[in-house]
Amino acid sequence: MVRRLAGPTARPPGVSTATRATGTGTVKSADRALDILELLAASGRSLGHAELARRTGIPKSSLTMMLRNLVDRGYVAVDPVEGPTGYRLGDSTYALARQGARVRDIVAVAQPALERLTRRVDESSALYLLRDDMAERVCSARSERALLYAMHVGVRAPLYANSAGKLFLAWKSARERERYLAALDMAPLTDRTLRSPVQLRRQLPRIRQEQAAYSLGEFTPGVAGVSVPVLDPHGKLLAGVGVALPEARLDEPCRQRLLAALRACAAEISAALELRRG
């Protein structure tokens, strides 16, 4: 949506759906929703129902239902000045754009840092973001070792079973953390997955204090995860950066070496993000 508006090949605003060729396999309702959002974004002002119908070519009855859905989800808002017939982009649209830009920035900065980290420690590494009470792997670098754990992008892990996930839990407010724990169904992923919120709760103060978290065969049998936080200058948690390796390799000298490398990588990512934002 945002990309099409910004790009040089974006469709000029006001071109109706009826005049545009429909690509094979497209979903008409999805296309129409994007037409509405693109038109509101390009107009820079509130538009009434009649003007939206005329400029998009969407039948008025269908437009009414689509606007109702978009307003309910916060992607379109009723303009308080124009009244119930004026529509503008809603807060959810701007939040989605900001989130997308934030993820692009983090991945652009983190990917080369992860590659340097993996060369330094010779273990697979990844960056995680918090997604709906899950830790999502958004970029990674793979070790060249014969015995390794491949960290595929897009994988989501429960917070209670993943080292980066435990970081996200430790940095939640007390109220958010207790709400999460109260509703938690700790489905076992391996025979070493934590089974009780009490066990998990005991780990969190130490994770926050040491700024490091571990998953020892809790998400994947035989695989250890070690993660540290990526913090902004105010101490806000931005992401988790971690490595995964066979548990047999994680002795104390290895753990200390990994922590030093991870903390240097996290600091590098944090500093680079500040430069991009400054």
Structure confidence at residue 122 (pLDDT): 94
pLDDT beyond 90 at 227: yes
pLDDT band at 163; cut points 50, 70, 90: very high
pLDDT for residue 149 = 66
Q: What is the pLDDT of residue 98?
A: 65
Whether 196 and 163 have beta carbons less than 8 Å apart is answered as: no
pLDDT, mean of residues 213-234:
95
If you average pLDDT over residues 242-252, what whole number do you get?
Answer: 95
Ordered domains of the chain (ranges, CATH): 28-89 (1.10.10.10), 95-276 (3.30.450.40)
Percent of the chain with pLDDT over 70: 85
User: Is pLDDT above 90 for 115?
Assistant: yes
pLDDT (tens digit, 9 = 90+) per residue, 47-91? 888 889 888 899 988 888 888 888 888 888 888 765 566 888 888
Model's pTM, two decimal places?
Answer: 0.69
pLDDT at 82: 58
Strand partners, 244: 124, 225
Give the range among 12-21, 105-114, 149-158 with minimum mean pLDDT.
12-21
